[in-house]
Chains A and B, each alone.
Chain A
Amino acid sequence: MSRVVKKRFPPKVRPPDARVRDFNEVVEGYDYETAVKEAGRCLKCPLWFAPCSKSCPLHVKIPSFIENIVKGDMEKAVRAVYEDNLFPSITGRVCPQEWFCEGSCVVGRIGEPVSIGLLERFIGDYARETGLEEKILEEMRVKGAPRGRVAVVGSGPAGLTAAGWLRLKGYEVDVYEALHKPGGVLAYGIPEFRLPRRVLENEVKKLEKLGVVFKLNHIVGKTVLLSELTRDYDAVFIGSGAGAPKMLEIPGIDLNNVYTANEFLTRVNLMRANLFPEWDTPITVGRTTVIIGGGNTGIDAARVALRMGSRPVIVYRRGREDMLKTARRDEVLHAEEEGVEFKYYLQPVEFIGDENGFVKAVKFEVMEPTGEVDGRGKKKIRGTGRFVEIPADTVVIAIGLEPNKLLMAETGLKFREDGTIVVDEHLMTSIPGVFAGGDAIRGESTVVEAMADGKRAAEEIDKYVSAKRKS
């Protein structure tokens, strides 16, 4: 195995002191030459074996597309990716590759794994920039009379993916989205410096060109009822996500400048409060922002706060190793480089306010590991009875999300205790013809798993509708 290049070819990354001053993309990715060199590190495992492909939720045929990059046949590489993944420019940027494809790459056993994510992103961007994507998608589309009509609820990664594949299979698809912009977390949660808006907007436009119809400002359960959708369409896919913030029910939660991560990030990412007053939505960020929680959401909030001129401190109740099980590794490293401060083993017990009702500090209990681990492999912790106070004029709570209960108003749909929708092995809910996927059935998970659900649901819906037509 001496041929193996153990070290990765690094992508272009903007230096920390420059990137913290704006919202432009941090990782600029590979140029053509570097992509080809990095692709050359892949050992071209046969597809039946390739562990990378097996551990990708979408089962992207990684060795095939990488091989074509090496050969310089970019069109073939694009085609190979599109067979399984309609949105490589998104997944290449936001997948926690270390948990999926790259985590099981065989090169990783002797050196650094192949940078599959960056290569996939390169292919996605290349297809977009050269106009290849439109051409290929149009070819992939099944022509002829529509096979049926499907309503998709929610335009996050699950909904977009389901809509795309259903359309390619020849269905008429209407996507109902509560907000004024499609994308779900991709639009309101993940900041621009990780996923530029133009990339997301392009993916949406791509679907529109295929004929997917977006019905924005439509809240299912309010504007239209699920029962109306089941009446008017052959099938329904619910990709409504897990968008409701968990609240910390501790004293002081109502103080001003205590935000949930969703409010904080939505104000900036979706509503562009960073450009206030040219854009109308306000936000107030003080000198020190304490972020509670160390998942992707907390890290994103910290890096947004930094770019708004604040000094962010992330406080996590366990240690760094456990944080890396909930946040994408690259983002943690980038946040550390940018100067985000991290404090571990602290659990918030109270927000302390000033005389005007604005937060001025957070009181924490010092925690310690018990020596045991929980079901998800994270260290169990306990309080020590010792307390510390950290001054803060802004607080962001990023302790997790749960499914939004708006659809609950409808009868018939079965939910679990935690608000997730119950589905069978075909992703069908308790209502015949209504399918669901993504965070709505999993609770907080990942973009690529939501996409994998969307894609599988499209297949299941196709089977369901075809069977119904025949009978």
Chain B
Amino acid sequence: MYKITGKEDLNDQDYYIEVEAPHVVRHWRPGQFVIIMVSDRGERIPMSVATVEDGRVGMFIKKLGKTSTQLYREYNVGDSIYAVAGPLGNPVPLANYGTVVLASDAVCAHAEQLGLAVELSKLGNKVISIQTFKSENEVYPDKYLAKKLVDEHYITTLDGSAGFKGHFIDLLRELLARRDVKAVYAGGALPSLKKLAEATVGKGVRVYTLVRQIMVDGTGMCGSCRVRYNGGIAYACRDGPWFDAHLVDWDDVLRRDARFKRVEKLALEKYLAR
């Protein structure tokens, strides 16, 4: 059992939750994720790591389906969850590129930005962060943004109510045209990652993306998370979860992500009706 030591709303849908997991923290590097189970009947769900501190792991979680909603509603500081395993996957490949951009439009990637910002800065990069939200009231509290960790920070909102109007891809296009950006680290909604890959292919910029696939064990044992990559099959958990966006078959990723949509919806409805 792993004790919850912190919990806070990030906006209407997303929340921060922190658990005691000293075994995970010791070897964790940015880009690696954890798998948690809320209860012994729970699903094993992968989560990016936002913060690590004194043996505690902080995550940003979106109230999406049954498990993420249940964790928010039924578990509070002092309670314990059933399992935390990790660190899983591989650290993101990092180097001194010169200028790099971090881009995110969803919960998991906002989380990843924090660790990436620190490490990329340490390596001597000029780090530009773009964080996209739907509107002003969805922007996370300052301390959960990458703001203080990077050289330049931009908020974009789809409705223009805060920061730059549009998606990170729109701002990124401008930056790519004006600045000498050598690498992009992006994560979030899978369709926007596909768009990003298309927009940057052949432009001489490295693009690493967080490829979310449905997982079970997270150790390479089941093949649930397989991704068509560079002409072969890769496992997001064992070989990723960060991949070169230009080598990922995004249609395949999108199709496999929708595998359980129908039954997941049933589970959430049933839970909410309780």
Contacts of A243 in B (CB 8 A): 219-221
Binding stretch for chain A, among B95-103, B172-180, B188-196, B263-271: B263-271
By beta carbon, the residue of chain B nearest A280 is B43
Binding stretch for chain A, among B114-122, B142-150, B222-230: B222-230
SS class, residues of chain B in contact with chain A? mixed
By beta carbon, the residue of chain A nearest B38 is A280
A244, A253, A280: which contacts B42 (Cβ < 8 A)? A280
Contacts of A406 in B (CB 8 A): 219-220, 238
Q: A284-B259, A284-B260 are in contact. Are A262 and B27 (CB under 8 A)?
A: no
Binary per-residue interface labels of chain B (215-259) against chain A in the complex, 1 for a CB within 8 Å, 0 otherwise: 011011111101010001100001000000000010010011011
Q: How far is the CB of B236 from chain A (nearest CB, A)?
A: 13
By beta carbon, the residue of chain B nearest A262 is B222
**B39-61, CB < 8 A from A:** 41-44
A216 to B35 CA separation, bound complex (whole angstroms): 13
Q: How far is the CB of A224 from chain B (nearest CB, A)?
A: 8
A222, A257, A271: which contacts B27 (Cβ < 8 A)? A222
* Cβ contact within 8 Å between B219 and A219: yes
Q: How many interface contacts (CB-CB < 8 Å) are there between A and B?
A: 122
* Cβ contact within 8 Å between A217 and B85: yes
Q: Does B87 contact A (CB under 8 A)?
A: yes
Q: How far is the CB of A183 from chain B (nearest CB, A)?
A: 13
B32, B256, B264: which contacts A282 (Cβ < 8 A)? B264
A258 to B19 CA separation, bound complex (whole angstroms): 35
Q: A217-B23, A247-B233, A282-B263 are in contact. Are A266 and B222 (CB under 8 A)?
A: yes
Contacts of B42 in A (CB 8 A): 280
* Cβ contact within 8 Å between B88 and A280: no
Contacts of A12 in B (CB 8 A): none
A273 to B41 CA separation, bound complex (whole angstroms): 10
By beta carbon, the residue of chain A nearest B23 is A223
* Cβ contact within 8 Å between A245 and B85: no
Q: Which of A259, A281, A405 has the most CB of B within 10 A?
A: A281
Q: Which of A276, A280, A282 has the most CB of B within 10 A?
A: A280
**A189-229, CB < 8 A from B:** 215-219, 222-225
* Cβ contact within 8 Å between A263 and B41: no
* Cβ contact within 8 Å between B221 and A244: yes
Q: How far is the CB of B239 from chain A (nearest CB, A)?
A: 10
Contacts of A405 in B (CB 8 A): 220, 238
Q: How far is the CB of A446 from chain B (nearest CB, A)?
A: 19
Q: Does B181 contact A (CB under 8 A)?
A: no
* Cβ contact within 8 Å between A222 and B88: yes
Contacts of B24 in A (CB 8 A): 223
A30 to B256 CA separation, bound complex (whole angstroms): 46
Q: Does B37 contact A (CB under 8 A)?
A: yes
Q: A225-B27, A243-B221 are in contact. Are A271 and B233 (CB under 8 A)?
A: no
Q: A222-B27, A225-B27 are in contact. Are A280 and B67 (CB under 8 A)?
A: yes
Binary per-residue interface labels of chain A (256-300) against chain B in the complex, 1 for a CB within 8 Å, 0 otherwise: 110110110011000110001111111010000000000000000
Contacts of B226 in A (CB 8 A): 247, 254
* Cβ contact within 8 Å between A216 and B83: yes
Show the binding face of B for A, using Cβ within 8 Å: 23-24, 26-27, 32, 37, 41-44, 66-67, 82-88, 216-217, 219-224, 226, 228, 232-233, 238, 249, 252, 255-256, 258-260, 262-264, 266-267, 270-271
- List 16 contacting pairs A-B, 8 Å CB cutoff, sorted by A: A180-B37, A219-B86, A224-B27, A247-B226, A254-B249, A256-B259, A260-B223, A266-B221, A272-B41, A277-B66, A277-B263, A280-B41, A280-B66, A281-B43, A404-B220, A406-B219
Show the binding face of A for B, using Cβ within 8 Å: 178-180, 215-219, 222-225, 243-245, 247, 249, 253-254, 256-257, 259-260, 262-263, 266-267, 271-272, 276-282, 284, 357, 404-406
